Structure 1
Amino acid sequence: MSKPFIDVAAGLILQKDGSLLLAERPADKPWPGWWELPGGKIEPGETVQQALARELKEELDIDVSVSTPWVTYVHEYPKNIVRLAFCQVTEWQGEPKAIEGQTLAWVNPRKTLPVGPLLPATLPPLRWLQLPDRYLVTSIGGQKNLPAFLEKLAQALRAGIELVQFREPDWAAAAPEAEIHQAFQSVLACCHEFGARCLLNSVHPESWRPLADGVHWRAQDALRQASAMQSQAAAQQGAATHGNAGDNPPASAAQAPAPDAHLLPRRLTGVSAHTLQELDAARALDADFVVLGHVLETASHPGQPGMGWEQFAALAEKSGMPVFAIGGQSAATLQTARQHGAHGIAGMRALLEAAEAR
């Protein structure tokens, strides 16, 4: 018997200091005592934004002024499957009130929560919310450029960049491995000096990965890795099928997550994607985010038109995780990217130049 499928609009109501509003489910509803993001079912004929505005008015007596689409995520509960269209609500009229008798709490999503437990589908967006909205990708190009790049990188980190990817395929193809490794260590040290994370692109040796704060998979590498993992899982499942079923106890009931289960892990996994198949690979790798593009024409892809914002938005909606737009991105496109479902933007020169201009 198939489970009912429910479409829900959910709001991350955010104050300017980053505080997030959570609500405790009342005793007369399923999952009483568990905490969630405000929202509710999307009625026939409603858009996500319309449904969210209606639900927040009914639940909290606030009028939404500014809301942007973010991540659409599917979660399977014991009795139903819920597709949650998460939106970030950054401006509203009125003070949130507990219209339905629920308890409300403003929390800092970057710290251990004073309330809980969280509904299972609420954990991922609280983790994703902690990702920065800019992702700097290196483009050093050679040893002679490294000192100047490190100066610019330090400026960018001072200006607020918190996430960097070391990616130097052309340089790595032309220079000794030791030279690139030293450059990677220099970039990593610079990032750590300012409290930023540095991911290593999968084009570089796997043996370097333990030094980094995670790995960023190229699209082709992600496809290969996902395929290998799926083959391994199938083999294990086949072995289990031929074993003693009595040795495999049924899964236990879901346990309440720890108060810090929502915190973003120190080691991150990113994936570059351009197609639905590559987004599937990202999900198979349990990625924390995807970089999707290229969206607009860019110097790194001369003569190759970008996918455009419409196609970007269609793919981002199917990603199931935060998406960074790449290709022709800068501070000037950040708001446009968000309006099309992006978490933030990724880029090379523009993010460095923005720091220099300050």
Structure 2
Amino acid sequence: MLLAQRRADSHQGGLWEFPGGKVESGESVREALDRELKEELGIEVQDARPLIRVPHAYADCRVLLDTWLVSRWQGEPRGLEGQPLAWVSMGELTDRSMPAADMPILDAIRLPDTCLITPPSVADATRFLQALRKAVSNGVSLVQFRVFGLAENDLEDLALASRRLCEEFGAKMLVNGPLELALKSGAHGWHLNRRHLRSLKSSRDYAGLLLGASCHDAEELALAREKGVHFVLLSPVLPTASHPDAEVLGWKGFSDLVAEFPLPVYALGGMNASLLEHSWRAGAQGIAGIRGLWPD
């Protein structure tokens, strides 16, 4: 990731940030992105997509960071305004002093654009693991283990085998279920349902675990933000085969809820791979799902 250092005499002076600038009157956000990166870095943006919008209130001003992920450009980035630049690996991003408003962007960068949720019923553990292997070997890197109805020992064995399989392909696994299961299986995170979210005291008590939460409305989104989770799944966006008559948010309802929500949000409900780019335009980190993503 490319970082630039702010001038010492500017707001948040001396800190490292992602390059960019203010949207001028009459500009679209994408036009401002292209202009600012040409003026600051001397590059022509060729491919970019929305990543996350982060509202933040400092003591002396309020900002809204409309952040985009630039994946292809022409030219060699240079500090045309005299600003120092640094290419920083993912693991080194937290070593740099950055403005508080930039912190949620780090979570969005680290998270993939797809979250696979396992089917809740498992009739054959071998077939389950074969399907999971196919998913993670094909590039799925975030898995929510959500299985019900098994005996405790069988559930623990399956969770442990699933976590090992995910690690074999560099994927992370969160457990949607009891915290004890997440800890016993060595999962990389814990996904909170509505009940767990409401009872969570502070994310600081779970340092080292990636925390996700399931949300359905503005109240639950606000609660997830207050509790300090790393990302959320917001549903239902579209009708699903399992709940065809449920009231859905629709893309507009989803977009309205996440417009100024400063955490990565996955769209859940009726999702499949063909809707990924649509989800980005609606303000999502990406998509989450079972039926539309599970390879079995």
CA distance in 2, matches of 1:82, 1:118: 15
Greater alpha carbon shift after TM alignment, 37-46 vs 306-315: 37-46
Listed one character per residue, the Cα deviations across residues 48-97 of structure 1 (whole Å, up to 9, x for unaligned) are 33433332233223343443222222334343332222122234444433
| Structure 1 partner of 2:83 | 102
| Structure 2 residue 70 is the aligned partner of structure 1 residue 89 | yes
CA distance in 1, matches of 2:245, 2:105: 37
| Structure 2 partner of 1:242 | none
| Paired letter, 2:213 | V
Listed one character per residue, the Cα deviations across residues 7-56 of structure 1 (whole Å, up to 9, x for unaligned) are xxxxxxxxxxxxx2211123443344321111223345544334333322
Alignment of 1:161-200 (within 5 A): 161-168=140-147, 171-172=148-149, 175-200=150-175
| Structure 1 partner of 2:183 | 210
| Structure 2 partner of 1:135 | 115
Quick one: which of 313, 317, 320 aligns to 2:262?
320
Listed one character per residue, the Cα deviations across residues 213-256 of structure 1 (whole Å, up to 9, x for unaligned) are 2211113432x226x66xxxxxxxxxxxxxxxxxxxxxxxxxxx
Quick one: which of 186, 190, 210 aligns to 1:268?
210
Alignment of 1:37-186 (within 5 A): 37-108=18-89, 110-113=90-93, 116-142=96-122, 144-168=123-147, 171-172=148-149, 175-186=150-161
CA distance in 2, matches of 1:114, 1:275: 31
Q: Residues 181 and 69 of structure 1: is their aligned pair in 2 closer, same or farther, counting only changes over 3 Å?
A: same
Listed one character per residue, the Cα deviations across residues 181-227 of structure 1 (whole Å, up to 9, x for unaligned) are 333233223223333222111xx3332232322211113432x226x
* 1:338 CA displacement: 1.4
CA distance in 2, matches of 1:310, 1:61: 36
Q: Residues 27 and 179 of structure 1: is their aligned pair in 2 closer, same or farther, counting only changes over 3 Å?
A: closer
Q: Residues 75 and 318 of structure 1: is their aligned pair in 2 closer, same or farther, counting only changes over 3 Å?
A: closer
Superposition CA RMSD, Å: 2.6
Quick one: which of 223, 234, 245 aligns to 1:292?
234
| Structure 2 partner of 1:11 | none
Conserved in 2, the CA contact under 8 Å of 1:107 and 1:114?
A: no
* 1:114 CA displacement: 10
Percent identical: 40
- SS class of match (2:124): helix
CA distance in 1, matches of 2:178, 2:35: 51
Listed one character per residue, the Cα deviations across residues 122-143 of structure 1 (whole Å, up to 9, x for unaligned) are 333123201122211111513x
Stretches of structure 1 lacking an aligned partner (at least 5 in a row):
1-19, 230-264
CA distance in 2, matches of 1:140, 1:63: 46
Greater alpha carbon shift after TM alignment, 188-197 vs 97-106: 188-197
- SS class of match (1:351): coil
| Paired letter, 2:133 | A
Greater alpha carbon shift after TM alignment, 63-72 vs 287-296: 63-72
Q: Residues 115 and 180 of structure 1: is their aligned pair in 2 closer, same or farther, counting only changes over 3 Å?
A: closer
Q: Residues 61 and 115 of structure 1: is their aligned pair in 2 closer, same or farther, counting only changes over 3 Å?
A: farther
Stretches of structure 2 lacking an aligned partner (at least 5 in a row):
none
Q: Residues 114 and 324 of structure 1: is their aligned pair in 2 closer, same or farther, counting only changes over 3 Å?
A: closer
CA distance in 1, matches of 2:250, 2:244: 15
Quick one: which of 210, 225, 245 aligns to 2:199?
225
Conserved in 1, the CA contact under 8 Å of 2:104 and 2:262?
A: no
| Paired letter, 2:290 | M
CA distance in 2, matches of 1:104, 1:57: 15
Q: Residues 278 and 47 of structure 1: is their aligned pair in 2 closer, same or farther, counting only changes over 3 Å?
A: farther
CA distance in 2, matches of 1:114, 1:209: 26
| Structure 2 residue 291 is the aligned partner of structure 1 residue 346 | no
Conserved in 1, the CA contact under 8 Å of 2:194 and 2:215?
A: yes
Structure with max Cα Rg: 1
| Paired letter, 1:162 | S
- SS class of match (1:185): helix
| Paired letter, 1:185 | L
| Paired letter, 1:208 | L
| Structure 2 partner of 1:26 | 7
CA distance in 2, matches of 1:76, 1:163: 31
| Structure 2 partner of 1:237 | none
